[in-house]
Amino acid sequence: MFGSHEKEKILEVRGLRKFYGSGEGAVKALDGVDMEVYDGELLVILGSSGSGKSTLLNMIGGMDLPTNGSIRFKGREISRFKDKDLTLYRRNNIGFVFQSFNLISELTVRENVALTADTRNNPGIVDQTLDLIGLSEKKDKYPSQLSGGQQQRVAIARALAGNADILLCDEPTGALDYETGKQILVQLQKLSRENGKTVIIVTHTKEISLMGDRVITVKDGKIKNTWINDEPVDASGIEW
């Protein structure tokens, strides 16, 4: 059972606002968001298109800066970081998995994963990560030789190889068929449950929220509800 008393808080968001434009025509992508992220949890951020959920993910990942408010990662105020510090934060602490796989077609699976790997501290991290994600036998293949699900698993492996503290997944099943998408969700849940990774999944699919330890619903740039799943559903049993 997940509970804030059982896990360490690693990220805290307070009064987060993001406006695009100015004056009466300003768009409020985020309008006063407060939330926490706990070590080792699987957090689902649920909302419809345009709700602000992807903007929130971008802020947490240091890909964009807020108009107002604060984001603290392990006590450090990342929303005030300069470009160099933001780059280091993204490289050392955050792993990104997008709807589009963003693999480099000219590189093999192993080479794609090696892009983020810190081999100084662990020379075998690339092969270890590919084994963890079940792709060791595909390491010399190119993205064009893989299925969509396999390409997304490479993207997950690439994010993991950097030993990220938080894995950010923006609609990770969006470009996949139903069965393949479910396999990706199983993999993400396994990484949280068995490997202790902090995983945040952003989705518009309500049924996916059933697998989360916690669920945050976002609407019109605001958090509407936050709840704990006392008994998260196995991702393999989710239907949508």
DSSP secondary structure code for residue 121 in this structure = T
Q: Is residue 236 part of a domain?
A: no
Rounded mean pLDDT of 50-63?
A: 95
Residue 1 is assigned to a structural domain of this protein: no
**Over 80: is that where the pLDDT of 3 sits?**
no
Q: Is position 238 within any domain?
A: no
In this model, does residue 4 exceed pLDDT 70?
no
Q: Which residue's structure tokens are 């390409």?
A: 151
Q: Where are the beta strands (DSSP E) in the chain?
A: 9-20, 27-38, 42-46, 68-73, 76-77, 94-97, 166-170, 198-203, 214-219, 222-228
Q: Total domain count for the chain?
A: 1
If you compute the radius of gyration of the chain from its CA atoms, what whole number of angstroms results?
18
Residue 178 backbone zone (phi > 0: left; psi -120 to 50: alpha; other: beta): alpha
Domain of residue 67 covers 9-231
Residue 240 placed within a domain: no
Phi and psi, residue 50, nearest 5°: 85, 5
Rounded alpha-carbon distances, angstroms, from residue 171 to 62, 125, 149, 174: 18, 26, 13, 5
Residue 239: inside a domain: no
CATH code of the domain containing 180: 3.40.50.300
The β-bridge partners of 35 are 13
pLDDT tens digits, residue range 153-200?
A: 999 999 888 888 999 999 999 888 899 899 999 999 999 999 999 999
**pLDDT, tens only, 5-51:** 478 999 999 999 999 988 878 899 999 999 999 999 999 999 999 99
Residue 212 lies in a domain: yes
Q: Is residue 2 part of a domain?
A: no
- The side-by-side arrangement of strands in the sheet containing 27-38 is 27-38, 9-20, 68-73, 76-77
